[in-house]
Structure 1
Amino acid sequence: MIKYLIIDDEHIAHDIIKGYCDKMHSMQLMKHCYDALEALDYLREHQVDLIFLDINMPKLKGFEFLKTLKNPPKVIVTTAYQEYALEGYTLDVIDYLLKPFSFERFLKALNKATAEKSINSLDNTNSMEESELLFLYSEKKHTQINRNDILYIEAAGNYVKIHTSKELFTIRDKISNIVKRLPEAKFIQVHKSFVVSKQHINIVEGNRIRIADSILPIGKLYKEEVNKLLH
């Protein structure tokens, strides 16, 4: 599970963030903190993977709180103040959500935070599993999948088809954008229209790759990279 804190002096902000997180089985709220001092007390005795942090709070401002942490977890800033964005990125925050933010924008930030090798507790088996999770928007709903279930990705005009071991997802996006959200060590582009999972390749024969029941072409520009897999 991805353990998280909400640090915000507004109760409605807690309700919104928790409501978004409750839509995902991988998120576990550890504590509601209504000021940064309360969060400091909690973090002295406990560890979390992710913090949703407001900036303008009483007693101790959000960024001042962040500077006191020796080994801070991943941080997503949630604030109504756009002018502090630059300072936030100098402190290595994952993303900067400007209130009010939509569920879709929230998911984009969360995908950044849970990308492979981004969560501090990767030495924990459960956290490693959570880091493989990816949200896809298809058929007017967000579905959480595991990257390891992806067989291959296919460009189809203005859409991308994501073939998994369980089902097919069709989303409106570019294949290049999807590739950016996948670990390079596990996926390889074999054609301008196809990206495949290395672990699911069954057979490479000539200019074709077999994955499950599908036979995919290997483009001339990608043949050299495919050959590296064979040696």
Structure 2
Amino acid sequence: MIYYLIIDDEPIAHRIIENYCENLMHLEKKGNCYNAFEAIEFLNKNAVDLLFLDINMPKLSGFDFLKTLPNPPKVIVTSAYKEFALEGYELNVSDYLLKPFGFERFIKAINKTIDTAQNIKSITALPTNEAEPKTNSFFLRGDKKYHQIHFDDLLFIEAYGHYCKVYLKNDMIISHQKISDFEQLLPKFNFIRTHKSFIVAKDKIKQIEGNRILIDKYKVPIGQTYKENIMMLL
């Protein structure tokens, strides 16, 4: 789990970041600070992995605050002022989000900042190699709830705009996770990417015919660049 702290003097900025983070199951809020002095006091008592840091704050700016930290965590700057971006990168910030920023740009900043594969490993206790997994399930956020997904129940995953559809034996869940996140999460010994928009469970494949795979009652396409993956199954 990645613990984050929001440091911004605007309450609406806190709500926007919190709403975005609610869709990412590996992020958990540790606290909210509305100026640099609150943040200094908070960090003296608590450890976090990631800061969402505003620059233009009263009394002490975000960058001046950052200079006071001997071992700062990862930092994503959130600012309405693009002219400070160069100074931010000189301070080794991970990314610089220019307000107002959308969810897609926010996700890019998170992926750039956090080693997604390592974080998913810590959440699910899955290995990164193709050995037998130590767990047979993971938790997925959807419909404002966390669902435990068992690998044996998972048929395939379909990218659907900014969402993914997770097809199970008796259910379908819509998630904000990207298909690339699932590709890193799922054990490669039993799941395979067949298309830019599809990942399927190998043991659920009934038939392969031409450019289609039959799984249960569904027909999943095989993308041109993924045919080699399918040939390795035959």
Change (3 A) 1:119 1:30: farther
Residue of structure 1 equivalent to 2:115? 117
**Where do 1:62-73 residues align within 5 Å?**
62-69=62-69, 71-73=71-73
Q: Secondary structure at the match of 2:5?
A: strand
Query: 2:60 matched to 1:97?
Result: no
Instruction: Provide TM-score, normalisation by structure 2.
Output: 0.58
Q: Secondary structure at the match of 2:226?
A: helix
Residue of structure 2 equivalent to 1:175? none
1:157-185 Cα offsets, whole Å, 9 max, x none, are: x999735334376x9xxxxxx65565457
Residue of structure 1 equivalent to 2:30? 30
1:56-86 Cα offsets, whole Å, 9 max, x none, are: 2345432343345455334332222111223
Q: Secondary structure at the match of 2:72?
A: coil
Q: Is the CA contact 2:183–2:199 (under 8 Å) kept in the aligned structure 1?
A: no
Q: Secondary structure at the match of 1:153?
A: strand
Residue of structure 2 equivalent to 1:14? 11
Listed as ranges, the gaps of 5+ residues in structure 1 are 136-140, 172-177
Q: Which residue of 149, 156, 172 maps to 1:151? A: 156
Listed as ranges, the gaps of 5+ residues in structure 2 are 127-137
**2-structure distance, mates of 1:122, 1:163:** 17
Shift of 1:34: 3.1
The alignment-based identity, stated in percent, is 32
**2-structure distance, mates of 1:119, 1:226:** 24
Aligned length: 206
Instruction: Provide TM-score, normalisation by structure 1.
Output: 0.59
1:187-217 Cα offsets, whole Å, 9 max, x none, are: 754246x5214x4652364445344442434
Q: Is the CA contact 1:201–1:211 (under 8 Å) kept in the aligned structure 2?
A: no
Q: Quick one: which amino acid aligns to residue 97 of structure 1?
A: L
Q: Secondary structure at the match of 1:47?
A: coil
Select between 107-116 and 73-82 the one with higher mean Cα deviation.
Answer: 107-116
RMSD of equivalent CA atoms:
4.8
